[in-house]
Amino acid sequence: MAFQSNRTGKMELWVMKVDGSGARQVTGVRR
């Protein structure tokens, strides 16, 4: 599953397992 989140302070793309575990950031936007 892929989702957007601002948990780092910036909108980033994350992926995780369908059970909600293992969330990891896949983008690193520098602003």
- Contacts of 2-8 with C-beta under 8 Å, sequence gap 24+, read 2/26
Average of per-residue pLDDT across 4-25: 95
How far is the CA of 16 from the CAs of 3, 27, 30, 31, in angstroms? 8, 13, 22, 24
d(Cα 14, Cα 1) in Å, to the nearest integer? Answer: 8
For residue 21, pLDDT over 80 is answered with yes
d(Cα 5, Cα 9) in Å, to the nearest integer? Answer: 9
Average of per-residue pLDDT across 21-28: 95
- N-term to C-term CA, the chain: 26
% of the chain exceeding 70 in pLDDT: 90
pTM of the model: 0.75
